[in-house]
């Protein structure tokens, strides 16, 4: 490879920017989602291409609904809706670090290998 070829490749990469993928295990509900949203917006303003991969719960307009909360162009979601769980297309509801009575999510400490 020539120096000119390598220089052109570097220029092309700079024009495309850099890419980062941010993944959240949870649906939007608290501080982690707020940080991921703020970080992805800040990175996008500095020539980074940002993809968010997150859980989603609820309907359009609800803050737990990832496309509503993040309003990002490049968003990959996993639907945690109760009607999707147990089906072939669904995924188990993610566990939580908090043990909250009556909450739909189990605390991590109670998740076994069969979950």
Q: Is residue 4 very low, low, confident or very high in pLDDT (cuts 50, 70, 90)? A: low
More confident residue, 105 or 88: 105
In the chain, the number of structural domains is: 1
The verdict on residue 110 lying in a domain is no
Give the pair of three-digit tokens for residue 101.
């009575």
The verdict on residue 108 lying in a domain is no
Query: Could you tell me the pTM of the whole model?
Result: 0.65
Among 69, 62, 65, residue whose Cα is nearest residue 78: 65
| Residue 63 DSSP code | T
Please give the pLDDT value at position 38: 92
Question: Which residues are registered as beta bridge partners of 48?
Answer: 18
**What average pLDDT is seen over the chain?**
76
The verdict on residue 113 lying in a domain is no
Written as one string, the DSSP assignment of 86-113 is: TSTT--PPPPBSS--TT-SSPBGGG--T
Domain that holds residue 86: 19-94
The verdict on residue 81 lying in a domain is yes
The verdict on residue 109 lying in a domain is no
How many Cβ atoms are within 10 Å of 105's Cβ, its own excluded? 18
The verdict on residue 103 lying in a domain is no
How many Cβ atoms are within 10 Å of 79's Cβ, its own excluded? 17
74: helix, strand or coil: coil
């Amino acid at each position: 490879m020539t120096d000119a070829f390598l220089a052109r490749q570097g220029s092309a990469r700079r024009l495309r920017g850099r890419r980062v993928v941010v993944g959240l295990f949870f649906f939007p509900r608290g501080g982690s989602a707020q940080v991921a949203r703020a970080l992805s917006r800040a990175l996008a303003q500095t020539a980074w291409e940002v993809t968010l991969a997150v859980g989603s719960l609820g309907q359009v307009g609800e803050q737990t609904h990832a496309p509503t909360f993040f309003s990002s162009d490049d968003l990959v979601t996993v639907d945690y809706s109760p009607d999707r769980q147990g089906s072939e297309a669904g995924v188990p509801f993610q566990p939580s670090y908090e043990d909250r009575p009556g909450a739909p999510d189990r605390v991590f400490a109670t998740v076994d290998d069969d979950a």
